[in-house]
Amino acid sequence: MTLDVQGGSFTVLLGPSGCGKSTLLRTVNALVKPQSGRVTIDGNDVAEADGTQLRRGIGYVIQAVGLFSHMTVGENIAVVPSLLHWDRARTAERVDELLELTGLPPDRYRDRYPRELSGGEQQRVGVARAIAAEPRVLLMDEPFGAVDAILRAGLQDEMLRIVRSLKTTVLFVTHDVDEALRLADRIVVMRQGRVEQYDTPLQILTKPATPFVAQLLGADDALRRLSLMCAGDAAAAGQSTAPETIAADASLRDALNRLLGGVTRLSVVRDGAPIGTLGLEEIRKALQ
């Protein structure tokens, strides 16, 4: 297989269990050495780099989190900075900054032990620990697989906000289609160690390359497709008299929800200014 991942992008490796997505992920930080082929970061072959040095520059988050139970939350987050010999003051400052960033007030969380935290809080610490030394690449292996569904969406949004602000290149493994569609700039659909399709979520959903991709993604699921399209693109031009408004970057799925809820037409607004109107007719057109 050949994959070229854009720097700064969020790429999801999606596929059923045992398709090789985790193994592929672990070749990037050289925890798994490929029998043949190469993995390069910025043109440098990872096989030629010193493994430990390489990994200190690559964030790594796993489903089981793997927090060190004998260290406090703060000490866990400080692991990579300490491996890189940051001084005490800089490390302490960074730890608090990361706790703040991941929504865990430093004064309450810094000195607690992992076992005192909930699953969701533990994985926040896991993410904070992985990005502590500002890695250019972040590898995430089903990080929210063990978090219950109610919390998962919140964690996904937060994580997305954090990695966007870091401009880190993210490789994210999951078998959850909705998670992939929600997070990815690009999705790699894998099956039995091979790439079935590598494209944007919308392209994969609307133009699946193989029957396997279509089946896995549920490409005929209209709601799924609507959730990837935005109101601004589907709106019909023209002045609107409809009092109900929706933001241009809201998804068509949200729009449909409103329309089915009793509103006959919506005004689409961007930055407060109306740009068009939206009704069931426009949504039907967008799906064709």
Binding site for other proteins (CB under 8 A): 29, 31, 51-58, 60, 62, 64-70, 72, 79-80, 83, 113, 115, 126, 129-130, 139
- In the chain, the amino acid numbered 163 is V
Q: How many helices (H) and strands (E) does the chain have?
A: 15, 11
Pairing of strands 10-14, 186-191: parallel
Minimum distance of other proteins from residue 20's CB (angstroms): 17
Minimum distance of other proteins from residue 132's CB (angstroms): 9
Minimum distance of other proteins from residue 79's CB (angstroms): 6
Which ranges in the chain belong to alpha helices (H)?
Answer: 21-28, 51-56, 73-77, 79-83, 88-101, 106-109, 119-130, 149-166, 177-183, 201-206, 211-217, 222-226, 231-234, 252-260, 280-287
| CB nearer other proteins, residue 36 or residue 69 | 69
| CB nearer other proteins, residue 94 or residue 129 | 129
| CB nearer other proteins, residue 8 or residue 66 | 66
Backbone angles phi, psi at 193, to 5 degrees: 75, 5
Minimum distance of other proteins from residue 254's CB (angstroms): 37
| CB nearer other proteins, residue 55 or residue 191 | 55
Neighbours of 22 (CB within 10 A): 18
| CB nearer other proteins, residue 122 or residue 197 | 122
Q: Give ∠ CA 159-164-169 in degrees, rounded to 5.
A: 95
Minimum distance of other proteins from residue 133's CB (angstroms): 9
